[in-house]
Amino acid sequence: MKYFANYEADAVVREDDNGVRYIKEIDNLKEGRVGKDHDVAWGIPSYGVHNFLEPITKEEYDNFGITWDW
């Protein structure tokens, strides 16, 4: 598993061993599966937002919106 944070979108992303990505956003902490066209989850620039993805730990992913956010 890989975990990422997208601070511009206030979201965290999980990538499973098959390359499928899931996202949690600060205004919707329920994890949801996303496709490869989802700019926030794949770090695709959109409308002047860079959507940089930075690696985070599983613990940070699990605690997003509970003990921390931006």
- Give per-residue pLDDT as tens, 1-54: 999 999 999 999 999 999 999 999 999 999 999 999 999 999 999 887 799 999
**Separation of alpha carbons 64 and 47, rounded Å:** 25
pLDDT at 46: 84
pLDDT at 48: 77
CA distances to 22, 33, 48 from 64, rounded to whole Å, are 14, 17, 25
Q: Whole-prediction pTM value?
A: 0.89
CB 14 within 8 A of CB 25: no
